[in-house]
């Protein structure tokens, strides 16, 4: 496989964004930001045998997810994804068909949001694939959704369902046995090809004060980040946490998946109680599932409390962490 031939083949034949001045083909890409917007930039890396395995996912699915996790970060800021760059380290077992399919997977998601591939890097490595994706997006000036603005009385919410991706991974690893009546394909797809909640994020950024995180490392971890940044206590209720009806059929202690499983890439955050009804209505109009799961209780010690019947448990910041095993 020739590096320059690969670059020629992955270079888009047409672009979507009018603000792009120069895409792939020079030392760097150039685009003209809009004066009424702020730029949002994020980057994530996926490593073979750490984040993905080709015996679990096809190269197309891996590419799709590599871009999706970044688009989800843009959604968590209330922004719109515009451009992406890909740096890929290719090992000896990475033949042309695999690499092509990886880019096809990314392109499939990029087309959904009219994103343009504007650059990156291609190198060889001796062991495993390493895929690093950078996404550039936009959010209207002053409208970005941060973690530090939650206040007492706010509603705590989540978009979509929780725990499905962790269930899908457990199915792939043969850690659980599924009955014939369970829709295993649903859980597998949620893990392998997550759908970023961009539309929900855009609705969030239309309100004056919304805190937001995407659920990548687990609900407990994401809510703790909001609690720490805002110096508040969040109280959530176990019986309000949204899940697929088949989830408890896969595992009795399904709550572990919901709270700590991660990689659902739904959005969670807080919004003033006075705005909740309008927010919920706008989400429903666009077919977006949104659920109130609790409220912000006050500015005591930053923490997240789970209410389960008569029991209250402080949820630790537990979830996936690369440097803690």
Please report, in range form, the residues annotated as the binding site for substrate: 51, 263, 320
Detail the residues annotated as belonging to a binding site: 27, 44, 51, 73, 103, 120-121, 147, 214, 216-217, 263, 320
Q: What are phi and psi of 306, to 5 degrees?
A: -100, 125
Side-by-side strand order, sheet with 80-90 = 37-47, 130-140, 80-90, 116-124
d(CA 268, CA 291): 9
Sign of CA dihedral 130, 33, 212, 160: negative
| One-character DSSP codes across 37-105 | EEEEEEEEEEEBTTTB-TTTS-HHHHHHHHHHHHHHHHHHTT-EEEEEEEEEEE-TT--HHHHHHHHHH
Q: Which residues of 121-153 are buried (b: 16+ CB within 10 A; e: fewer)?
A: ebeeeeeebbbbbbbbbbbbeebbbbbebbeee
Detail the residues annotated as belonging to a binding site for Mg(2+): 27, 44, 73, 121, 214, 217
Detail the residues annotated as belonging to a binding site for ATP: 103, 120-121, 147, 216
Question: Is residue 249 within 8 Å of residue 319, measured between CB atoms?
Answer: no
Closest listed residue to residue 191, CA positions, set 204, 176, 212: 176
d(CA 268, CA 217): 12
Residue 130 in 3-state DSSP?
A: strand
């Amino acid at each position: 496989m020739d590096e320059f031939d690969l670059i020629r083949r992955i270079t888009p034949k047409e672009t979507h964004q009018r603000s792009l001045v120069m895409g792939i083909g020079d030392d760097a890409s150039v685009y003209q930001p809009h004066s009424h917007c702020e730029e949002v930039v994020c980057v994530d890396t996926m490593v073979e045998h750490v984040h993905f395995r080709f015996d679990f996912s096809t190269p197309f699915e891996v590419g799709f997810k590599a871009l999706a996790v970044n688009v989800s970060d843009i959604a968590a800021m209330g922004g719109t994804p515009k451009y992406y760059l890909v740096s890929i380290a290719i090992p000896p077992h990475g033949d042309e068909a695999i690499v092509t399919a990886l880019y096809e997977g990314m392109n499939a998601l990029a087309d959904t949001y009219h994103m343009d591939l504007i650059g990156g890097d291609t190198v060889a490595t001796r062991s495993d694939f390493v895929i690093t994706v950078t996404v550039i997006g936009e959010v209207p000036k002053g409208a970005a959704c941060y973690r530090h603005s939650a206040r007492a009385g706010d509603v705590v919410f989540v978009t979509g369902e929780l725990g499905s991706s962790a269930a899908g991974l457990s199915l792939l690893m043969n850690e659980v046995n599924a009955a014939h009546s369970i829709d295993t394909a649903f859980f597998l797809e949620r893990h392998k090809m997550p759908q970023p909640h961009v539309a929900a994020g855009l609705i969030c950024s239309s309100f004056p004060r919304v805190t937001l995180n995407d659920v990548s490392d687990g609900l407990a971890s994401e809510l703790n980040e909001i609690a720490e940044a805002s110096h508040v206590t969040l109280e959530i209720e176990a019986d309000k946490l949204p899940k697929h009806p088949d989830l408890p059929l896969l595992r009795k202690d399904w709550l572990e998946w919901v709270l700590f499983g991660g990689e659902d890439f739904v959005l969670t955050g807080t919004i003033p109680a006075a705005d909740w009804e309008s927010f919920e209505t706008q989400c429903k109009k666009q077919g977006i599932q949104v659920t109130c799961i609790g409220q912000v209780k006050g500015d005591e010690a930053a923490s997240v409390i789970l209410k389960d019947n008569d029991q209250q448990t402080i949820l630790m910041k537990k979830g996936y962490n690369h440097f803690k095993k």
